[in-house]
Structure 1
């Protein structure tokens, strides 16, 4: 079950992640101003060429590889949940963004649906991580994005990612 967040939690989010809604909305004009930087979290250890992408992204028929990739991203979510408060967002009527906090790890699993990840799924979950001044977004090609404002504060995220067997691409 998800719970509502307190005013103090919302204040912390706004303080550590100014204009976070613009990052979530992928507002290009805001992104270009440079307030936020990004790194990529991937199952791949390098940026793929077009030829490599066709072979390496689409592994949906290879159940063992698919499960291995899912397990890595699931481990990141589990370790982040242990390390800090995670907040999810969704839109309600009139394009109003509502933030919710999972009450336990099962809530995180339900939201992320790791057992349904495949090569073209994406944008299913996004973690707001105010303690780390970061927003962690799932993308479609086995590569996720971490938007951040303070490079020092994301070091725990990078350690979690490496422990899970994923790679950091810049």
Structure 2
């Protein structure tokens, strides 16, 4: 199943991107100071989103070393706290698969996740969870 989503350890080109963030769009240089003002409560919105998704859908986590997907049994084991998240390298970012929606949810820089999807059903299904978590999605 790993090959369904990845080619050369990159998400396949056939997936479109939707950004999930604390803000409704790109900050731009004039507002990049907002990145320094993110609180633990702000950051926890991403963990809330992942927990909500986990309640409604089966999640898998990506293991690049073994090139496989692992079913998530306890989401709490995978979530990190605010301090640890700020110390991650890009190769430590979380990447989740939501098989039922044929999409990938990947952690990225600057308090952003990327939803990689093929069909609009993934966005329609996840948007209420994104909004309930206090986050925004945009292209």
Q: Which one has a larger percent strand, Structure 1 or Structure 2?
A: 2
Stretches of 4+ moved more than 6 A in 1?
none
Number of residue pairs matched by the alignment: 137
Query: Who wins on radius of gyration, i.e. which is larger?
Result: 1
TM-score calculated relative to the size of structure 1: 0.71
Preserved contact between residue 138 and residue 144 of structure 1 (Cα < 8 Å): yes
SS of 2:30's equivalent in the other structure is helix
Which of 80, 95, 110 matches 1:113? Answer: 80
Q: Which residue of the partner structure matches residue 4 of structure 1?
A: none
Which protein is richer in helix relative to its size?
A: 1
SS of alignment partner, residue 59 of structure 2: coil
Partner of 1:19 in structure 2?
4
Over aligned residues, Cα RMSD in angstroms? 2.3
Unaligned ranges ≥5, structure 1: 1-9, 60-64
Contact 1:89–1:99 (8 Å) recurs in 2: yes
Aligned to 2:45: 72
Which residue is equivalent to 2:63? Answer: 90
Deviations 1:24-77 (A, max 9, x none): 515xxx52xxx2111000001221111211x11123xxxxx4212222001101
> Scaled by the length of structure 2, what TM-score is found?
0.85
Give unpaired runs (5+ residues) of structure 2: none
